[in-house]
Amino acid sequence: MWQAVSLLLVVGIVNAKPGIFGEHFDASLFASAPVLPAPTFFKEPIFAPAPIVASAPIIKTIAPAPIIKAVAPLPIVKAVAPATSYATVTQFHVTHPVVKLYICLYMFYIDNTVKGVGNPLVIKNARIVCTSEECLRSAANLKLSMDFNADPCDDFYQYVCGNWKQEHINHGWYSRFSSFETINERIAVSTMDFLKSNSTKGEPLPVTQSRDLYKSCMDVGKSRNSSPLPRYTFSLIVLFTIVISFPLSPFTFKKYVDKKTTRRKRVKLELDEEELFESAYKRVVVTVMKAIISNVTKVPSEKVLVEASNIIWNITDDISELAGDDDDEFDEDFDDLDVRTIKASELQNLTDFLMKENNLKPKEVWKTYFNMLFQDIENVTLDLDGKDLIRYLPNDLDYINSIVVYLAKKRSIYLELYAWYHTVYSMIVSTTTEISEYIYKESAPFKKNSILRSRSMDCADLVIEFMGIAVSYGIADKSFLTVTKPKVDEMLINIKDAFVQRVKTLKWMDEKTKNATLEKSEEMVSFIGFPEWLLNKSALEYYYAGITIANDTFLENMLSIIEQYTPYRLANLREINPRTWRTDPTTVNAYNYFGDNSINVPMAILSFPIYHLGLEVLNYGAIGSVLGHELTHGFDNTGRKFDKYGNYIQWWSNDTIETFEKKTECFVAQYENFSLPNINATVNGKMTLGENLADNGGLHHAFLAYKNYQNLHGTEPQLPGFEKFNDEQIFFIAFGSIWCESRSDESLKSQLKHDEHCPNPIRVAGTLQNSDDFSKAFNCSMGSKMNPKKNKCRIW
């Protein structure tokens, strides 16, 4: 067998294409400039009197979700001659990453042989070794990533991931780079190759349109600067959608303003640096306004433009503060499930009271606002005086009241300027090279990650985001539904069975609640891979009906998609939500949707290095723990509040709830003791509780499910190069490996403050510290870091 591996190594290794990421990015992603009527601000004296107008707050809408992503196949390595020694192997200067994997695996094998491990195929009674491509790839990837000098009982994350970042280089456009991002990149490359390919006869129209959208994004040669430019007018809801969901360049100022400057308490910038950023921001505002206004009217004086930039900056900063962007601490009392309802008339009465309190004249706001949103939506008639209620969270109501009073005090001419600019800015990166390059130049000094990707990668990602279902039709493995999906379905069933086994043994849950919990588990549905209708031509064309795409008008293409999206969502206002897909096949993640009692497992996450690992012990440790994680979410501190039908009601007994809450305190205390080197912050145990419960339960269920699988199917072959490891050890190595990552200290600090997920090293350590199976597998003595002297936290 190893002779066969040698043949793969010594070959003219090559067929390696020029670097995929070597292409230089040209900032002119697009070549058409939008023309909107110049705002009234530039047609009237700045300080001209204007009526006070109360304006509604901007409502956030959800951008179209990305869709399906595929994994690029491994390059073919041709065999020429066998390698028989170290010299034979090392005389080749091989840099191709796949070849490096095979060489390292082979060297690892020889190293183990020299040290006395020997050839496993000739040892008496030895298990056979898996030699499939999947096994070789998995073994080599693990070998390259692991730090065998580390003690697994002291720091298991270092043991499994110690060399990962050296072998998986972050190209610079990610603040974090993990196994999940490696899949994202491969999907983008596969998508790019597909979009560059020729159309095939009889393919669905949306698939052809996805290629045209890519071509229009890549079309830097076209310039509309010498031809008449179109004028755009938008309804209120389409305008909101453009601002919220229009594709943004990686170097836009908007992203920086939202996350850095307006959150002053969060980032604690030095005063001079903040002032430098504010100046740069205002210069961008002036430049953007000049570029756009020159298309429709005479450009105002520099003095007027500077004054306009000051107004835009101030309103943007004020609204961000009113929205709570400056809040630095996690609000332990905030409950995002505390949804309440109010009539439009009641909300109006509250608004009128606040207006009078601030010596402002009340004005009808809410009925006007909602009627404007739905005025162009077919088959929806609002009944604001009757059965239609407005749903809100208590914190939302505080914001609404504050923003209405704030806007009422602002001159309408300023508000129009603010809305106009943010609409234009959202579209500007889809226009000229000069503007895009200028924005990048001004914003780069304030960014931690300012390296630009190739234009082709950005355009591929954009098409995935906005026409991902169509792309999925082209890149999806047509055998997925008959080959991969049944295997994942079986694994998830086995993990559910393991959960049932666990629930039946629980002592802290009364029988009635236990039975209800088992019923919810049984009722939970799963959506694996992609919706089956995706491969149906007629269904796909119906899904994208009404969208117009040309291969040389990128801006118009994006507007066509956006103008279809939000009205479609609003038209479903009175429709019953079906239990169906809630995410897209290209998403490298998995989800539990409480309101559906469903699990979504997109096709993208079902790929190397999280799935297709060659052995089920690896698959259960990797994707199995993810599936267990999502299952457990249905019964964590939030999921337990939704019954088997997705209703937000109490369905556990009071005693069980009290016991559950008390048991969660163990996890809160455990995780709040974690910290990271060079990071002056600790984990917020309450904020991360739900994810920590899911991590712990998911691992327990996946491990038990694998042991059940092993009892049923027998012992598997061994992983090449890892013959000295037992199956239990391989399972936990696979679990740890999916969380390998590299990230900046700034990114870690931000995660500790604001993310409900712990940093990956803590996710691994916290979960395994609570696992007796892990301590037994690696023979970790009591009192070691991975097997501390304390009661292990366990609920599920």
Which of 498 and 188 is assigned the larger pLDDT?
498
Average pLDDT over residues 80-86: 30
CB atoms within 10 A of CB 470: 29
For the chain, the residue count is 796
Average pLDDT over residues 111-115: 40
User: If you write DSSP's letter for every residue of 775-796 in order, what string do you get?
Assistant: HHHTTPPTTBTTB-SSPPP---
Give 599's strand partners.
Answer: 526, 592
CB atoms within 10 A of CB 795: 22
**Sequence ranges of the domains in the chain:** 1-24+63-194+476-547+583-796
Two tokens, residue 37: 């009527």
**Spatial CB neighbours of 713, under 8 Å, sequence gap ≥ 6:** 616
User: If you write DSSP's letter for every residue of 161-205 in order, what string do you get?
Assistant: HTTHHHHS---SS-SEEEHHHHHHHHHHHHHHHHHHSPP-TT--H
Q: Is the pLDDT of residue 33 over 50?
A: no
Q: Find which of 270-279, 297-306, 601-610 is predicted with most confidence, using mean pLDDT.
A: 601-610
Q: Is the pLDDT of residue 681 over 50?
A: yes
Give the per-residue pLDDT at 326. Answer: 52
Report how far residue 348's alpha carbon sits from residue 47's, in angstroms, rounded to the nearest whole number.
Answer: 30
* Residue whose C-alpha is closest to residue 629's, from 585, 707, 705, 693: 693
Q: Determine how β-strand 598-602 pairs with β-strand 525-529.
A: parallel
Average pLDDT over residues 312-330: 76
Q: Tell how far CA 180 is from the center of its chain.
A: 9
**Spatial CB neighbours of 746, under 8 Å, sequence gap ≥ 6:** 175, 448
Q: Is the pLDDT of residue 229 over 80?
A: no
Average pLDDT over residues 243-265: 41
Report how far residue 388's alpha carbon sits from residue 342's, in angstroms, rounded to the nearest whole number.
Answer: 9
Q: Is the pLDDT of residue 179 over 80?
A: yes
Taking the CA atoms of residue 618, residue 690, residue 583 and residue 747 in that order, the dihedral angle to the nearest 10 degrees is -80
Q: Which residues of 473-493 are buried (b: 16+ CB within 10 A; e: fewer)?
A: bbbbeeebbeebbeebeebbe
7 band by pLDDT with thresholds 50, 70 and 90: very low
Report how far residue 457's alpha carbon sits from residue 344's, in angstroms, rounded to the nearest whole number.
Answer: 46
- Using DSSP's 3-state secondary structure scheme, residue 503 falls into helix
Two tokens, residue 698: 């998911």
CB atoms within 10 A of CB 591: 17
State the alpha helices, DSSP H only, in 587-653.
616-619, 625-633
Q: Is the pLDDT of residue 685 over 90?
A: yes
Burial class (CB in 10 A: 0-12, 13-18, 19+), 556: middle
* Residue whose C-alpha is closest to residue 773's, from 627, 620, 577: 620
* Mean pLDDT across the chain: 79
- At 350, the amino acid letter reads L
Report how far residue 171's alpha carbon sits from residue 179's, in angstroms, rounded to the nearest whole number.
Answer: 14
Report how far residue 337's alpha carbon sits from residue 796's, in angstroms, rounded to the nearest whole number.
Answer: 23
Q: What are phi and psi of 742, to 5 degrees?
A: -130, 140
Give the per-residue pLDDT at 439. Answer: 79
CB atoms within 10 A of CB 26: 14
Q: Determine how β-strand 591-593 pairs with β-strand 598-602.
A: antiparallel
Q: Is the pLDDT of residue 56 over 50?
A: no
Which range among 266-280, 417-431, 551-565, 742-756 shows the weakest confidence by mean pLDDT? Answer: 266-280
Report how far residue 476's alpha carbon sits from residue 68's, in angstroms, rounded to the nearest whole number.
Answer: 7
Give 257's strand partners.
Answer: none
The pairs formed by 561-567 with CB atoms below 8 angstroms and a separation of 24 or more are 561/64, 561/466, 561/467, 562/238, 562/241, 562/242, 562/245, 562/246, 563/238, 563/241, 565/64, 565/241, 565/245, 566/61, 566/237, 566/238, 566/240, 566/241, 567/237, 567/238, 567/376, 567/377
* Residue whose C-alpha is closest to residue 469's, from 204, 248, 218, 249: 204
Residue-wise pLDDT tens digits, 536-566 = 999 999 999 988 999 988 888 888 888 887 7
- Tell me the CATH number of domain 1-24+63-194+476-547+583-796, given options 3.20.20.100, 1.10.579.10, 3.90.230.10, 3.40.390.10: 3.40.390.10
**Spatial CB neighbours of 133, under 8 Å, sequence gap ≥ 6:** 74, 614
Give the per-residue pLDDT at 255. Answer: 36
- Using DSSP's 3-state secondary structure scheme, residue 33 falls into coil
Q: Which residues of 213-238 are buried (b: 16+ CB within 10 A; e: fewer)?
A: bbbbbbbeeeebeeeeeeebebbbbb
Q: State the pTM of this model.
A: 0.78
DSSP state of 129: B
Q: Is the pLDDT of residue 259 over 70?
A: no
State the alpha helices, DSSP H only, in 58-132.
86-90, 97-114
Which of 316 and 626 is assigned the larger pLDDT?
626
Percent share of the chain, pLDDT over 90: 46
State the alpha helices, DSSP H only, in 226-270.
236-245, 253-256, 264-267
Give the per-residue pLDDT at 675. Answer: 87
Q: Say if residues 694 and 632 touch (Cβ distance below 8 Å).
A: yes
Residue-wise pLDDT tens digits, 428-486 = 656 666 777 787 778 777 766 556 677 788 888 889 988 999 999 989 988 999 999 99
DSSP state of 407: H
Give the per-residue pLDDT at 205. Answer: 96
Residue-wise pLDDT tens digits, 690-737 = 999 999 999 999 999 999 999 999 999 999 999 999 999 999 999 999
245 band by pLDDT with thresholds 50, 70 and 90: low
* Residue whose C-alpha is closest to residue 357's, from 323, 404, 413: 404
Q: Say if residues 639 and 521 touch (Cβ distance below 8 Å).
A: no
Which residue do the tokens 């500077």 mark? 306
Give the per-residue pLDDT at 328. Answer: 53
DSSP state of 117: -
Residue-wise pLDDT tens digits, 501-539 = 999 999 999 999 999 999 999 999 999 999 999 999 999
User: If you write DSSP's letter for every residue of 546-592 in order, what string do you get?
Assistant: T----TT-HHHHHHHHHHHHHHHHHHTTTSPPPS---S-TT-SS-EE
Which range among 210-214, 388-392, 429-433, 607-611 shows the weakest confidence by mean pLDDT? Answer: 429-433
Residue-wise pLDDT tens digits, 746-785 = 888 888 888 899 999 999 999 999 999 999 999 999 999 9
Q: Which residues of 425-454 are buried (b: 16+ CB within 10 A; e: fewer)?
A: bbbbbbbbeebbebbbebbeebeebeebbb
Two tokens, residue 305: 């433009």
180 band by pLDDT with thresholds 50, 70 and 90: very high
Residue-wise pLDDT tens digits, 374-416 = 888 888 889 998 889 988 888 788 888 888 889 889 998 999 8
Element housing 426 (H / E): helix 412-428
Give the per-residue pLDDT at 641. Answer: 95
Element housing 413 (H / E): helix 412-428
Give the per-residue pLDDT at 499. Answer: 97
